[in-house]
Structure 1
C-alpha cells in the first residue's frame, strides 16, 4: 500500500504506513542499537501471567472498570491527544534485545530500561509494540520469586507494580499490583486504570503510611480515584489493623495530596468536662497564606455556654528572620445562671517569639519573647495545661533592638519588658527602656594602643539609661490609669579606673564613679487632717502624696580603691595515688567613700495631729533609679576567696596518661564591710558561700549563708552590741543536685560525654513535659530517633540492658531574725525515665515536701512507639491539677486525624 504526496503535509505514524514512514519509525527505535539478522539461541522468557489484557489498545472500548458511574469524574479534555509519537524512544537491556520485524516488537530482557520524553520505565522484561504504540513491562519469575518488578517514573511521580501496559500515544495505562507514594501516603492497588496524566482509577485499593512490607495498618476500599499530587477520593472504606478488619467504616473519604502547605479545615476533638459539660475543642481552619506566613484559627464550644478562641501564626523569611504569634481568649462559665454558684470570667493570653538571622544584619538585632495575659490564665484555662507556668508565679516578656554604630565606640539597645506576678496580680512594664553605651576608651594610651603605666591604663566608660515604667494591677491593664501612675527617668553614669602593680605581687585598682539622675516629676507630701492615720492609735491626720510635674535632678559620686593578690600553697604527698593538693587564696581589701547627698534634697512634713511630729522624706522616693544616698559612706570591704584542687595519679602505675586534676572545692568565699563613718552597727553581715562537685561532676553541692555579728532586741531589730558567740546565722540556703543514668555503669562510658550532673548549672527538669489537647504531648521526635537506632540492636534474652535516668534535687532554706526562726523550704524533687524496651518508655517527676510531710506536684508519662503509630498516656494523679490524657494515633501528619484521644482536664475552679 502506498501514498503519493503532491504537497507538503505533516506525516503521522500509523499502522501499515508507507515505506518512508516505516523507515523513519524503524530508525527512531533502533538508533545507536544493534539489530540481529537471525534469531539467536536464548533463554526461555518466563512470562508472568497478566490478567486478561484490557482493551486499552483500542481506546474506543470501555473496560469494566468504568461501568460504574463516577460522580467525581471530570469532563473529557477538549484538547485531543497527539496522534503521533513526539519523541525518541531509547532502550537497553543487560542480557539481550530481540527485534521481531514481522510483529513490529522489541523484547528487552534483564534490567531492561525504556526512556521516552519524561517517562522512564525499568523492569525485568519489557516488550515494545510500535505497531500499537504500547509497552508491556513485567518482572522475572525464578526459583527465588518474582523480582525486577516494573518501576514506572514520569516527572516526579514514581510507582512500582507487578506489570504494566502503557500506551505512548494516548498516555493511558493498565497496571496490576501497583505501589505508589503520594505525599507520604503509600497506596497498593490490585488493578489500576490510568486514563491520563491527571486521572487514575483503582480497584481494591489499600493505602497507609507504614513503610513495612506488611504494613501495620491500612485503609481498604473497593474503588478509588487518584489525581496525582492533588487528592484521593475513595468510596466505602474500612480500617484494617495487622490484617484484621476493624468496625471502623467510612462511607466515603477525601484525602488531599500535596507537597506544599495548603489551607483546610481542622477537625475538632470531643469530650466531657465535669463543670462545662460536653465540648468540641480545637476545631477550625488552617490558612496557608503564602510560603512565608500561615494562620490557624481554632475554637472551643461547651454545652454550658463557655467558649474559647485561639489564633496561631508562624512566619519565616529564610536568612532574615522567623517567629510565631498566638492569641488565646476563653469565656468561662460555671454554675447555673440565677443561682449563687454562677460565675463568669474571661481570660486571655498573648505569646510572641521572634528571632533574627545574624547574617541578615551584622550590626543590628531584633528579638522578641512575649508572654502576657490574665494572671490566672494558666490556672483556669480549659484547653491549656502548661506545667511549668502552672507551678510558677511570674510571666515575663522582652522585646529588644540592638544597634552598633560602626566607626564609633557607641552602641544602643532599646527594650520593652513585662513582668507579671500571678499571685499579687501586679504588672510591671517598661515602654520602653533605652540604653546607650560607650566602649571603654583609653585617652592616655601610647601609640598603637600601648598601655604600660597606670596613666596609659586609665580607662573611661559612659552609659545612659532612660526608662518609662508602668506598675499597675492587671485589672487596670490597658486603661488610662496605667499611664497616669507611670514613672519616667534618665540616668547617666561615668566611671574611670586603672591598675598598677605594687610590691610586685599586689594589684592596686583605684576608681571613680559619677551618676546624674533626671526625673520629670517629684513627690510633694502634705498633711491632711481628715484622713485616718496608718497608726490607728494616732486617729485622724496623715500625710498624702501629690505628684508635681517638672524637671528634677540629683547627682552623686563615689571614690574607691582596691588591693588584691593571689597566694598559692601546694601540699605534696609521696605515697598513694594522691600526688598533691593545691590551695588558691585570693584576698582583697577595698576602700570606698561617698558623701551625704540626701541632706540637700530632703523635706519634712507633719505626719500626725502633733505639729512637732515631723516626717523627713525625699522628693525622689520610689523613683526608677532610686534617691540620693543618705549619710556618709566611708567603708572598708574585705573579700576572701578560696579554691582547693587535687592531683591524682592513674590506677595503673605503668600508664602513660597524665595525672588527673580534681576540684575538691570550687569556691569558699567570705565578704564583709566596715563603715567608718557610721555611729553604730559599723559591721555589715558577713556573706559566705561554698560549692563543690563530686563523683565526676554528678553531684553538685552549694551553700550560702548570712552571718550577723550583732544582737537583736525583743522585736528582732539589730542593736549595737556584739553576739556572745562569734556570729548569728540569719539565712542559710543549701542545694544538692545529683544525676545518674545507666550509662554511668557501662565500662566504655566516656565521662566527657555526660552532660548531666553539673549541679545548679544544669538543673534537671523535675516538672515534666507540657500537655495540650490540641497536639497531644510534646514532640517526641528525638525519642523516636533514639528508638529507631536501638531497634537495630539485638538485646539478649537475659541480662538485657535497660536504659534509665534519675535526677534528684534537694533544697533547704532557713531564716532567723534572732527571735523566731523558720525553715521555709525543705523538699526533695526527683524525676527520670526508664526504657522498658527499645520502644517502651516510662517517665516520672515528683517530689516530697519534708516540712509539710506531703508529696509535691506529681506527673507520670507512658509512651510507646508503635512504628507507624504512637501512644501516650500522661497522668497527674492528685493535686489541684489532677488530670489524665490518653492518645493513640498515626505519626504521619497526612493522616494525623486518624487518632483516638481521651482526656480528663484539671478541675478548673474560678479562684
Structure 2
C-alpha cells in the first residue's frame, strides 16, 4: 500500500463572463463535441473494448443558470482512451490510526508520528505499539516500544495480519511491497513459539528467520529448553523448515540434533507417522515399539495404527480410535494383538502364544435423545492377556480375575402406561478358569404400573384404589464357552434360549393409622426351546441327560405380604441453664414382618428311566435305586426363569432396622442450629421361620451394620451370621437348639468387617488422579490405586495437568507439604463347622506426597496379616519439569518385579523427543 500526501490537487477550470452571446456558446460546445467524437490521440488504440474512465474530477462548477457543467481539461485529455490501464489508488483500504498522547504530521519530512498506545488498522493488517512512525516518502512504517525509566522497555509492537501474530521488539514494514523486517520476535506456531533475532517477512505466507529458537516452554524469557534453528523458513499454519538444528537445555547445547528438520504446523488435526521407540527387553532381544501411522479421518473420529517388533520374532499390532460429537456421543475403541515368543526354538523353555484384547467404551449425551439411550463398555479377549502383554504394565488389571462387557440399547414410549424395552449383550469371563458366559442378546420389555381402580384425579386411598399391576418380559440367548472355542461356531452348539413373562399384582394401604401393609401376588410363565430327558444307567451308576429340542413352557405363582411401621425415639440431654456438647440422640426403628407362600409344582417332576439293569438281581437293583434320587424336572438348566420347585414353602420373615443420629453443639459460634452427626447409619437384624418345614425351621440371624466417622473420612461396615442350631460330633447341623445342647443362644458361624479411611492434608486431596486410573478402569481394574496404577507405554506423553501454568516456575519447595493416604482393612471369620479360623485378614494402603508443586512420590502396597507377608507393591516417583515430564515406577519384589523410567516433552508435536528405559516382568506363558 502507499500513503497519499496531505496536499490537494485541483483541476483547472475556465471561468467565463456572465454576459455573453448564447449563440457563440452553443457553437463552441458543438464544435468541441464534434472534435472529441472524431479525433484520436497519437497512440491509436486497437479495435476492441475500451477502458472506461476510472478517475473523476472531485470539483464540478456551474457556469450559468442552465447549470451546464464546464468540461475540465482533465476530462478532455485524449490519453483517457489509452490502452495502458490507469494506476491503482495510493490507498486500497481505509487507514485508521490512533494514539493516546499525540498524533503529529511533519510536512517537511512527510512523516506521521503516533505516540503512546499507538494503533494502525489497514485492511487485515494491524499494528499496536508504543511509538509508530509513518514515512510517506518511502512507504514504510516504523514501530517500536517506549523506554520508561521505571518500567523499562514497554509497549512492544504487536503485528497482526490475518491469523498470524508477531510480538517483536521493533518492526519495519513496507506498505508497498508488504515486506517487513522484524527484530527479536516471538511468534506462536501451533503448540510452540518461535523466538528469532531477525525475521524477514517476504509476503503474507512466508517468513525467513536467522538464529531462531523453537520451544513449547511457558516462560519465553528464560525457556528451559529450545531447539536452535540457524536458518529457517516458516509458512504460518503449514510448516517450519530448517537447516542444522540441535537441542539446548537452559542455553547449554546438547549433541542431540539433526542436519535438517521439518515441523508440521496445522490448526486442524492431520495424519502422519508415529516415530517408534527402541530398546532391549529381557530375552526377546532388541525392539521397536509403538511405531505406526496416525489417521486424522475427520473432526469427529481418528485412528492410530501402531506396531511393535522384537528381534526374536515377537510382534504386536494395535488399533486405537477416539470419536466424539458434541451433544450427541463420545467413545473410544481399541484392539490389541500380540504374538509372543519366549526363548529360541530348540530350547526347552521355548514357547509361543497369541493374545488379544478388545476394548470399547461409548456414552451418549443425555441431551441427545431423552427417550432412547445407547451405551457400551466392552473388555474381552484372551484370559492371559493382562498377565502376558509385553507393552504395558497392567498393574490394576492382572490382579482382577474377571473381564466383563455390556452393550445396551433402551427406548421408552411415553404415554399412559409407559412402555419400555431394551436390548443388551453381556459378557463375563473368568481369567482363571477361562470360562466365558455371554447373553446374545437379552431382551427386556415392560408396561408401566397401572391402577385400574384409581380415580384419574386426586390421591389413591384404600386397598382397592392402590391395586396395581405390571407386565414384564425377559428373553435370553445364553451361551457358555471357553477361550479355545470363543468366536468359533462350536460356541453356539449349547446355546440356551427362553422367555420369561411376569405379571405382579400388588396393593398397599395404612392399617390402624401407624402401620403400612402391602400384599402382592406374582404370576410367572416361562417359555423354553430346549428341555432335557434323564435316564439312569444302573450298571454305571450315573445319570444320562438327553437334550430335547422343541417348545415347552411352565407356569408358577406365589404370594407375599409385609407389615411395617416406623418408631421414633429421642433422648434429650439439654437441661435448663446448661449447654451440653451432645444435645440429643435420635433413634429410628423400622420393624417389619412378612409372610411368603411358594406352592409346590409337582406336576412338572417325573422319575428318570432306569436302563442297563441286565445282570443285576431285583434285590441289588432295589438297593441301588433306594440310595439314588431319580426325580427330576425337564426344565432344569434353563436360560431364564429357573426351574419350578417341588417343595411347598410357607415362611414368616422378621427384620429390624435401626438408625442412630446425634445433635451436637456446632463449633461455629454463629450457627443457630445444632449439628447433626450420624452415629450408626444402619444396624439391621433379619431371620425367618419356615412354617411348612419338618425340621430346622429357623433360619440363621443375619446382622449387618455400617457407619461413617470423622466427616465421612472413615467408613465402617460389619456383618455376622448367628445360627440357633447345634452341631453333632461330625460337625453337621442337627434339629436341636444350641442352647439346649449346652452352648450359647447362637453360634457365630461367620463374621466380616471392612474399613476404608481416606486421610489428607487440607490441600492434599485437591489434585485429581492422573490418566493411569482411567487405564485401570478400562482394563477392568479398580477405580483407586490400592492395587497400583497401570501404565500404557504407548501413551506416556499424555498430560492432563491443566494447573501447571498457574504455578510459578520458581517454586522449588513447598513448606506445607500436601499429602493423602488411603487405607482399606478387611477381615473374615469362619466357624460354620467349628474351624474357628480367620479365613482372610489384610490391610491395603496407598498414598501420595507432594514434596513440592513439581515433585511427588507415591506408593501402593498391602500386608497379609494372616500369611505375614507384603502384597503387591508399587512405588511411584514423578517430577514435573515444566515443559517436560519425568516419572519412575518400580515393583520391587514378587514374580512381576519390574521398573520403568521415562522423560519426555509434554507437547504432542514434540512427543517423540523422549527417553525411556524399562525392565518388564519375566512373563511365563
Pick closer, same or farther for the CA change 1:293–1:745 going to 2, 3 Å. Answer: closer
1:666-685 equivalent positions in 2, closer than 5 A: 666-685=681-700
Give the alignment partner of residue 158 of structure 1, picking from 155, 162, 165.
165
Contact (CA 8 Å) 2:386, 2:398: kept in 1 or not?
A: yes
Give the match for residue 496 of structure 1.
Answer: 505
Give the match for residue 586 of structure 1.
Answer: 590
Give the match for residue 771 of structure 1.
Answer: 791
Distance 2:214 2:430 in 1: 52
> Could you say what secondary structure the match of 1:223 adopts?
strand
Further displaced range: 150-159 or 811-820:
811-820
Contact (CA 8 Å) 1:764, 1:807: kept in 2 or not?
A: no
Distance 2:783 2:720 in 1: 21
Contact (CA 8 Å) 2:723, 2:746: kept in 1 or not?
A: yes
Structure 2's unaligned 5+ residue stretches are: 1-8, 13-39, 59-86, 614-619, 766-781
Give the match for residue 90 of structure 1.
Answer: 96
Displacement of 1:715: 5.2
Say if 2:292 is the partner of 1:284: yes
Distance 1:659 1:282 in 2: 60
Give the match for residue 477 of structure 1.
Answer: 486
Pick closer, same or farther for the CA change 1:153–1:688 going to 2, 3 Å. Answer: same
Distance 1:907 1:796 in 2: 39
Contact (CA 8 Å) 1:150, 1:163: kept in 2 or not?
A: yes
1:504-903 equivalent positions in 2, closer than 5 A: 504-528=513-537, 540-573=540-573, 574=575, 576-606=580-610, 611-612=621-622, 613=625, 614=628, 615-624=630-639, 625-650=641-666, 656-713=671-728, 716-723=731-738, 724-743=743-762, 765-776=785-796, 781-782=800-801, 785=803, 789=806, 791=808, 800-903=815-918
Give the match for residue 37 of structure 1.
Answer: none
Displacement of 1:651: 5.6
Write the deviation string for residues 730-772 of structure 1: whole angstroms up to 9, x where unpaired: 22111011121122999xxxxxxxxxxxxxxx99541233201
Displacement of 1:889: 1.6
Say if 2:196 is the partner of 1:189: yes
Give the number of the structure whose alpha-carbon radius of gyration is greater: 2
Give the alignment partner of residue 370 of structure 1, picking from 347, 358, 378.
378
Distance 2:848 2:902 in 1: 19
Give the match for residue 749 of structure 1.
Answer: none
Pick closer, same or farther for the CA change 1:584–1:95 going to 2, 3 Å. Answer: closer
Give the match for residue 206 of structure 1.
Answer: 213
Write the deviation string for residues 196-240 of structure 1: whole angstroms up to 9, x where unpaired: 222111111111111212111111121011111001111111211
Displacement of 1:402: 0.7
Displacement of 1:315: 1.4
Further displaced range: 572-581 or 842-851:
572-581
Contact (CA 8 Å) 1:268, 1:280: kept in 2 or not?
A: yes
Contact (CA 8 Å) 1:795, 1:801: kept in 2 or not?
A: no
Pick closer, same or farther for the CA change 1:611–1:727 going to 2, 3 Å. Answer: same
Give the match for residue 363 of structure 2.
Answer: 355
Structure 1's unaligned 5+ residue stretches are: 14-18, 22-80, 530-538, 747-761
Give the alignment partner of residue 123 of structure 2, picking from 117, 122, 144.
117
Pick closer, same or farther for the CA change 1:317–1:103 going to 2, 3 Å. Answer: same
Pick closer, same or farther for the CA change 1:121–1:565 going to 2, 3 Å. Answer: same
Displacement of 1:10: 8.4
Write the deviation string for residues 772-828 of structure 1: whole angstroms up to 9, x where unpaired: 111127x5524x52x65564998999xx31111111110012223314344332000
> Could you say what secondary structure the match of 2:222 adopts?
coil
Normalised to the residue count of structure 2, the TM-score between the two structures is 0.84
Distance 2:369 2:492 in 1: 35
Distance 1:638 1:333 in 2: 61
> Could you say what secondary structure the match of 1:454 adopts?
helix
Displacement of 1:697: 2.1
Distance 1:157 1:788 in 2: 23
Give the match for residue 143 of structure 1.
Answer: 149
Normalised to the residue count of structure 1, the TM-score between the two structures is 0.85
Give the alignment partner of residue 411 of structure 1, picking from 386, 407, 420.
420
Contact (CA 8 Å) 1:541, 1:607: kept in 2 or not?
A: no
Distance 1:236 1:795 in 2: 35
Distance 2:827 2:271 in 1: 53
Displacement of 1:98: 3.1
Pick closer, same or farther for the CA change 1:605–1:709 going to 2, 3 Å. Answer: farther
Give the match for residue 778 of structure 2.
Answer: none
Distance 1:273 1:474 in 2: 28
Give the alignment partner of residue 235 of structure 1, picking from 238, 243, 250.
243
Distance 1:208 1:872 in 2: 22
Give the match for residue 18 of structure 2.
Answer: none
Q: Number of residues paired by the alignment?
A: 816
Distance 1:887 1:429 in 2: 40
> Could you say what secondary structure the match of 1:448 adopts?
coil
Contact (CA 8 Å) 1:450, 1:456: kept in 2 or not?
A: no
Give the match for residue 61 of structure 1.
Answer: none
Further displaced range: 93-102 or 685-694:
93-102
Say if 2:495 is the partner of 1:486: yes
Contact (CA 8 Å) 2:473, 2:502: kept in 1 or not?
A: yes
Further displaced range: 214-223 or 119-128:
119-128
Give the match for residue 247 of structure 1.
Answer: 255
Give the match for residue 65 of structure 1.
Answer: none
Contact (CA 8 Å) 1:383, 1:773: kept in 2 or not?
A: yes
Distance 1:549 1:389 in 2: 41
Displacement of 1:296: 0.4
Distance 2:692 2:330 in 1: 56
Distance 2:105 2:764 in 1: 70
Give the match for residue 313 of structure 1.
Answer: 321
Displacement of 1:116: 1.4
Contact (CA 8 Å) 2:813, 2:852: kept in 1 or not?
A: no
Distance 2:698 2:88 in 1: 101
Contact (CA 8 Å) 1:437, 1:462: kept in 2 or not?
A: yes
Displacement of 1:412: 0.6
Say if 2:442 is the partner of 1:427: no
Further displaced range: 82-91 or 344-353:
82-91
Distance 1:101 1:629 in 2: 111
Distance 2:638 2:90 in 1: 89
Pick closer, same or farther for the CA change 1:701–1:780 going to 2, 3 Å. Answer: farther
1:452-463 equivalent positions in 2, closer than 5 A: 452-463=461-472
Contact (CA 8 Å) 1:714, 1:819: kept in 2 or not?
A: no
RMSD between superposed Cα atoms in Å: 2.8
Give the match for residue 344 of structure 1.
Answer: 352
Distance 2:190 2:393 in 1: 33
Contact (CA 8 Å) 1:301, 1:307: kept in 2 or not?
A: yes
